[in-house]
A and B are shown apart, each in its own frame.
Chain A
Amino acid sequence: MNENILETKDLHYIYADGAVALKGISIGIKKGKCTAVLGANGAGKSTMFLNFNGIYRPSSGQVLFNGKPIDYSRKGLKELRRKIGMVFQDPDNQLFSASVFQDISFGVVNMKLPEKECRRRVDNAMEQIGITHLRDKPTHSLSFGQKKRVAIAGVLAMEPEVLVLDEPTAGLDPIGVSELMKMLRQIQTTLGITVVISTHDIDIVPLYCDYVFVMYHGMMVLEGTPKQVFTQKETIRDINLRLPRIGHLMEILKYKDDFDLDDSINTISEARIALKDWKARYLKR
Chain B
Amino acid sequence: MISIDKYAYNSRLRRRDPMQKLVFAMMTLSVCIWAEKIIISIAVIFIMGGMTVLKGGTPFPFFLRLLLVPMIFLLVGVFTIAVNICENQEMLLWAIPFAGKWIGFSDASLVKSLKLFLRALGAVSCLYFLSLNTPMVDLLAAFRRLGMPKVFVELMELVYRFIFSLMETADTIYNAQNCRLGYSSLCSSYRSLAIMASMLFIKSYKQSKALYTALEARGYEGEINVLEEAYESHWGWYIMAVAVNALLVLFVIALKSITGGLS
Contacts and interface: CB of A to CB of B under 8 A. Distances in A.
Contact of A99 (B6, B210, B213, B229): B229
A80 to B, nearest CB: 10
Contacts of B229: 99, 101-102
Contact of B225 (A50, A94, A106): A106
Contact of B218 (A81, A90, A115): A81
Main secondary structure of the interface of A (DSSP, over half): helix
A109 B226 contact: yes
A122 B218 CA distance: 14
A106 B161 CA distance: 15
Contacts of B172: none
Contacts, number: 100
Given A93-B211, A110-B218, A119-B227, A140 B137 contact: no
Given A97-B226, A141-B9, 6 more contacts: A55-B213, A55-B216, A93-B207, A93-B211, A138-B5, A158-B219
Interface in A80-109: 81-82, 85-86, 88, 90, 92-99, 101-103, 105-109
A168 to B, nearest CB: 14
**Interface size class of chain B, counting residues whose CB lies under 8 Å from the partner chain:** 20 to 34
B93 interface: no
A102 B161 CA distance: 12
B13 to A, nearest CB: 13
A78 interface: yes
A93 B219 contact: no
Interface in B202-231: 207, 210-211, 213-221, 224-227, 229
A106 B218 contact: yes
Interface of B: 5-6, 9, 14, 135-137, 157-158, 160-161, 164-165, 207, 210-211, 213-221, 224-227, 229
Interface string A227-242: 0000000000000000
Interface of A: 50, 53, 55, 78, 81-82, 85-86, 88, 90, 92-99, 101-103, 105-111, 115, 118-119, 122, 136-141, 154-155, 158
A4 to B, nearest CB: 22
B217 A81 contact: yes
B149 to A, nearest CB: 18
A138 B135 contact: yes
A83 B133 CA distance: 40
Contacts of A98: 135-137, 157, 160-161
Shortest 4 CB-CB contacts between residues of A and residues of B: A110-B219, A140-B164, A107-B218, A105-B227
Nearest to B161: A98
Contacts of B213: 50, 55, 88, 93
Given A93-B211, A97-B157, A110 B137 contact: no
Contact of A96 (B6, B135, B224): B224
A102 B218 contact: no
B210 A103 contact: no
A110 B227 contact: no
Contact of A93 (B158, B214, B221): B214
